[in-house]
Each structure stands twice: as structure tokens, then as C-alpha cells.
A and B are shown apart, each in its own frame.
Chain A
Amino acid sequence: MREIAVIFRKELRDAYRGRWLIAFAGTFALVALLLSLVQGSGGDIGQQGFSRTTAGLINLCLLLVPLLALVLGASSIAGERERGTLATLLAQPISSSQVIIGKYLGLVAAVWASIALGFGTAGMVMALVSPITDVNHYLLFVALSAVLATAMLSIGMLISVLSDGRLKALSIAIVAWFVMVLLYDLGAVGLALAVSSSGRTLLLVVLGNPIECVRILAIMSLEPDLEVLGPLGSYVANEVGTAAGIALLGSMLAVWALAPLAAALAVARTRDA
């Protein structure tokens, strides 16, 4: 545990020193405030309350958060390997599993901090401008963003362990992001409908992508009749029902946060430093 804690602390310190933690927080805050400004009538920030801003932010965050998390995760171990520092680390009394877990937890904590700082700051500014009516929705959105980042970091770590160099890892991460964020919704629906038009098949399609899981979870938790969240989301929300759906999707997100990481640990144990 101590070795994991040492790596965890270093990862957090690197995030702070490298300024990406602050840069991401600033980006999140800016995006939230700009969206609120655009959606507010007459240009007043927060005029429409959190709800409309939250709905818009979900779609934006489903693009932004996976990209950042995938890139961070993918460059972590591959970058250390490329610089030779992974071999130096693994020549110490520490296992590859401890290095990976420490780095993963450090990245998760740093990304959570940037999400909390960025959206927290934006939320406070919006609250100052207009009375708070539905702050719970906004907080839930922030939490879902953190959960999504956790799952995508796990996928990024697996990509990183499988890749020989940082550039290769980043390229795979970008392709994965493109497929999961942009192609999956329409492509998977088309494929699922071609194979079988049952609700069960579509549900499996949703569970096969953590971004879809978060999207549907957001629909169920925030505004079940929200039409802007894509065809798959609306369809599955009606098929499954709220309580069971939330439990199922939440469990699946936990699997997405743990399974790629477990695979990364297994792969790392078979690889040379």
C-alpha cells in the first residue's frame, strides 16, 4: 500500500505542477459559463437556472471528458516507458501492478479535482447571478462527469499498457474516442436493429459503451423526456424503467472503471519493463 501511495502522491503533484489540472478546471468552468450565457435569455448567466445549462453541459461533457481522460490515461504508462523512467521505477522494490494502480488513482484524483474545481466555480458564479432552484441536477451532472472520467481513464490505462510508445498510445486513444463518442450512437443502433430490434439488444448496446451508460443515466436522473440526448438514449430509457435502469447502468459503469484496469494489470504482468 505504501508504494501505491508514493506513486499516487507523485502523480497528483505532477498534475498540479504540469498545470494541466488547473488548465482543465479552467476549461470546464469556461465551458459551463459560456453555455449558461448562450442559453440564458438576454445574455444573463444562469437566468434559466441550472436545468437548461445542465442539459447542454451533458452533451458537451460527453465529448470533452472522455477525450481528456483517454489522453491522460493513454500517455501515462506509455510515456514512462518511452522516457525510460518505467524501467527505473520497476528496478525498485515495487511491482508493475503497484505502479499502475498508483498512477491510475493519482490521475482519477487529479481529474476529479479539476472537474470539481471547474464546474464548482462555474456553479457558484451562476448561483450568484440567479437564484438556485435545481442545484441537485447540477451536482448530479458533476458527479456523472467524474464517474465517466474514472471509466475512461481505466480504458486509457489499458491502451497505455498495450502500447510501446506514447505517440502510438495517443493515436489509439483518439481513435477510441472518435468511435465511442461520435460513431457508436448511430453505428451501434444501426447494427443492433439490423441484428435484432428488441429492447434487450439495444440495452446491451448501451452497456457496451460507458459514454452511453452516462448519457442514459443522465436522462433518467435529470430529465427523462429530454429529446436532445440521442435516439438510443430515449429508446432505452423507455424500455428499462427508472430505478432498475439506474442500478444497472451504475453497476455497468463500475465494471467499466475496473475491468480495463484489471486487464491492464494482467497485461503488464506478462510484459518486459
Chain B
Amino acid sequence: MLNATGLTKRYGDVAALDDVGFELNAGEVLAVIGANGAGKTTLIKCLMGLVKFQGNVTVDGIDVARSGPAARRKIGYLPQNPAFHTDLTVAETALFYADLKRVSAARAHQLVETVGLGEHAAKKVGALSGGMRQRLSLAVALLAEPMLLVFDEPVAGLDMPARLELRRLVLEQRDSGRAVVLSTHWLEDVPYIADRVLALERGKCAFLGPASESAAAISPLSRLYLRLNGHTPDAIGIIQEAAPAGAVARSGDWLVVRCKALDKAMVVERLLASGIRVLDFRVEEAPAETASSFHDLTHEGDIR
């Protein structure tokens, strides 16, 4: 269904993508993960033929670089920030894109209803919320019943119910035989929806394989902020034992611990078991990082 080989995209001397390749079959979901700037959006733009690139991409045997419009007829695309003409209404927008995709007006109206925008059909796109624009973008993506769906960070800006709904939608599309490429930097979505994972790091393929094997290769990071009751030197030793690959730094009254997400509970548990009171704490979940990025981070700490 989708075949990409030797994908390389350079902006001046910087390689945004460097020799990336994969295959995707019908009824499969490929999650493309990586930190911001890893090359996810560039990869998606290459797949859509929106940028010039080296390498080869075919969709159902059609070369994207040579026959872009024909290839895109088979693709439904949900961009990260959908941009529509704000002076058109929801219905007019759906009809405009239906016309471009040679789809009937009835199908356009039906999809506007399906994505829950029926009662907003007469509303100008400029007056829609971000979530509503995402829904409209989804309707446009599904108009021509594409064989391949390409979602570029679709969960960015969505609340949890909308995010769960998107998960359900991706699985529905997969079950109906469509291939789905889903770019995301939130790893917790991956086990629920992806069959395969492509991890990008600085434009290069850091991992490509089954989703079940991705956890070992990719380490989500947590940044744990701890305010203790004064036993800081003791606490640092305990933290270093609990999270051997982590890094600890001071920030005012806080200890900042950067460690694997799996280790953060262990850090708190060990501190409490050692009689050190945790007065306050908060956690920041970092975007997906591969093992080598994590290794870089561990060498930035003030203490270790």
C-alpha cells in the first residue's frame, strides 16, 4: 500500500530526514514517533508530496513525486494545524473539497454530520474552535474514502475525550482495511493503536518494528520535581540508587530528577521508605525520546 525508500530531505546543510524507509500494508497502523524536530512532520510532508525530497514514495504503486495528484487521490490527510478558508462555512468548505476530490455533495453533507458538525454547518470556519476544525479536517480527509490515512500529530490540542475518540477512529479505519500513518510524540497512545512503530531521531530511523517491541528500544522520560524536608544530600544518594540512569539537579527548593518514566514511582517509594518526607512533587512527562537521546540527557545534570 505505502512504500517509502531512501527518504532524504535537506534544508541547506541540515538533513531533516536521512535515508528513512518503510513499508505499510492495508489494515496496518504505523506510529511515527520522535521528539520535536525529529523529522516527523517532514516525513509526513514527503509522503504527501508537499515537499521536494530524495528517495521514493509510492502509494498503491503510484509515485508521489511524479504523480502527486493521482497519489493524493488515495490519501486522506489530517494536518497538525488544519488551515481552511475562514470566510467559507463548514458546509461550503466540505463541498469545495468534495468538488476537488470528485465526491458527491451528499457525501460531503453526510460526513459533516458524521463528525458532529451538522448543527454548525452554516457557521463560518473562522468561528470554529480548534477541536471543531480538527473534526472538519477529518471530514475532508475521509471524503474520498481513501486507502491510506495520514495523521500528523492529530492529538495536539485535543482534550482527553477527543483523544480517546481519535484512538477509536484510528482503530475503526484500520479494521475497515485502511492503512494509517499516525505521527505523534505521545508514546502512551502507541500501544493502543499502532501495529508498527517508526522512531525518528534527528531525521534518522532509530527504530522500525512491531509496536510490541518498541518499548524496549524507546524510553519515555519523566522530569520529577521533589520538595523534601531537608535531607537533600541523603535523598540524592537514594535517588541515584533508585534510578541508576537518571540525573539529579537542584532548582531552588526543588530537586529535579530526570529519569525513565518507569523509574519515577520507585524514586518516590524509596524516599518514603527511607523516612524522607516528600512535602510536594510534580511530574512532567517528556515527549518520546529514544535511548540515545536519553543518554545525552543523563550527562546534562548538575549533580550527576
Is A92 an interface residue, CB under 8 A from the partner?
Answer: yes
CA of A90 to CA of B68, assembled, Å: 9
- Whether, in the assembled complex, A179 has its beta carbon less than 8 Å from a beta carbon of chain B, the answer is no
Query: Measured between alpha carbons, how far is A94 from B73 in the docked complex, in Å?
Result: 9
> Which chain A positions have C-beta within 8 A of B75?
91
How many residue pairs link A and B with beta carbons under 8 A? The number is 62
Question: Is A3 a contact of B87 with CB atoms below 8 Å?
Answer: no
Q: Are A85 and B84 closer than 8 Å at their CB atoms?
A: yes
Nearest A-chain residue to B53, judged by Cβ: A272
The reply to whether B51 and A273 contact each other, CB–CB distance below 8 Å, is yes
Q: Is the CB of A93 within 8 A of B73?
A: yes
Known: A6-B99, A91-B77, A92-B72. A84 touches B50 (CB 8 A): no
- B186 interface residue, CB < 8 Å from A? no
Contact of B97 among A2, A92, A271 (CB under 8 A): A92
Known: A92-B101, A95-B68. A85 touches B83 (CB 8 A): yes
Q: Which residue of B lies closest to A97 (CB)?
A: B69
Query: Is there a chain B Cβ closer than 8 Å to A270's Cβ?
Result: yes
**Quick check: A270 and B87 within 8 Å, CB to CB?**
no
Q: Which of A88, A92, A93 contacts B83 (CB 8 A)?
A: A88
Q: Is B157 an interface residue (CB 8 A)?
A: no
* A87 and B100 within 8 A (CB): no
A10, CB-defined interface residue at 8 Å = yes
Q: Is the CB of B96 within 8 A of A88?
A: no
Hey, what's the 0/1 contact readout for A14-57 against B, CB within 8 Å counting as 1?
10011000000000000000000000000000000000000000
Which residues on the A side are within 8 Å of B45 (C-beta)? 272-273
> Is A83 among interface residues, defined by CB-CB distance under 8 A?
yes
- Docked complex Cα distance between A2 and B69 (Å): 13
Question: A88: which B residues are within 8 A, CB to CB?
Answer: 79, 82-84
Min CB distance, A101 to chain B, in Å?
A: 13
Bound CA span A98–B70, Å: 13
Is B304 close to A, CB under 8 A?
no
Indicate whether A17 sits within 8 Å of B87 (C-beta atoms), given known contacts A91-B79, A272-B52. Answer: yes
For A83-119 the 0/1 string (1 means CB < 8 A from B) is 1110111111111001000000000000000000000
Q: Which residue of A lies closest to B68 (CB)?
A: A95
The residues of B that contact A93 with a CB separation of less than 8 Å are 69-70, 72-73, 100-102, 144
A-B contact pairs, 20 of them (CB 8 A): A2-B102, A6-B96, A83-B83, A83-B85, A83-B86, A85-B83, A87-B50, A87-B83, A90-B50, A91-B48, A92-B101, A93-B73, A93-B101, A93-B102, A94-B72, A270-B52, A271-B52, A272-B50, A272-B51, A272-B52
Whether B81 pairs with A84 at a CB distance below 8 angstroms is yes
What 0/1 readout, one digit per residue, does chain B (81-119) give for beta carbons within 8 Å of chain A?
A: 111111100000000110111100000000000000000
Classify the interface of chain B: helix, strand, loop or mixed: loop
Contact: A84 with B83, CB < 8 Å?
yes
Q: Given A14-B87, A84-B81, A3 and B100 touching (CB < 8 A)? A: yes
For A2, the chain B residues whose CB sits under 8 A away are 102
B residues contacting A by CB (< 8 A) are 45, 48, 50-52, 68-70, 72-73, 75, 77, 79, 81-87, 96-97, 99-102, 144
State which size class the interface on A falls in: 20 to 34
Q: A10 near B96 (CB under 8 angstroms)?
A: yes
Contact check, B69 vs A3: say whether CB atoms are below 8 A apart. yes
Bound form: Cα–Cα A3–B102 in Å: 9
In the complex, residue of chain A having the shortest beta-carbon distance to the beta carbon of B143: A92
| B100 contact from A83, A94, A272, Cβ within 8 A | A94
Query: A88-B82, A92-B101 provided; 9 other pairs, C-beta below 8 A?
Result: A18-B87, A83-B86, A89-B100, A91-B79, A93-B100, A94-B69, A94-B100, A95-B69, A273-B45
Residues of B within 8 A of A84 (CB): 81, 83
Closest chain B residue to A95, Cβ basis:
B69
* Residues from chain B with Cβ under 8 Å of A95 in the complex: 68-69
Q: How far is the CB of B35 from chain A (nearest CB, A)?
A: 22
Chain B residue at minimum C-beta to C-beta distance from A269? B52
Q: What residues on A are CB-neighbors of B97 within 8 Å?
A: 92
- Give the shortest distance, in Å, between A50 (CB) and chain B (any CB): 39
| Chain A residues near B48 (CB-CB < 8 A) | 91
**Given A92-B97, A93-B70, A93-B101, A273 and B50 touching (CB < 8 A)?**
yes
Question: Which chain A positions have C-beta within 8 A of B68?
Answer: 95
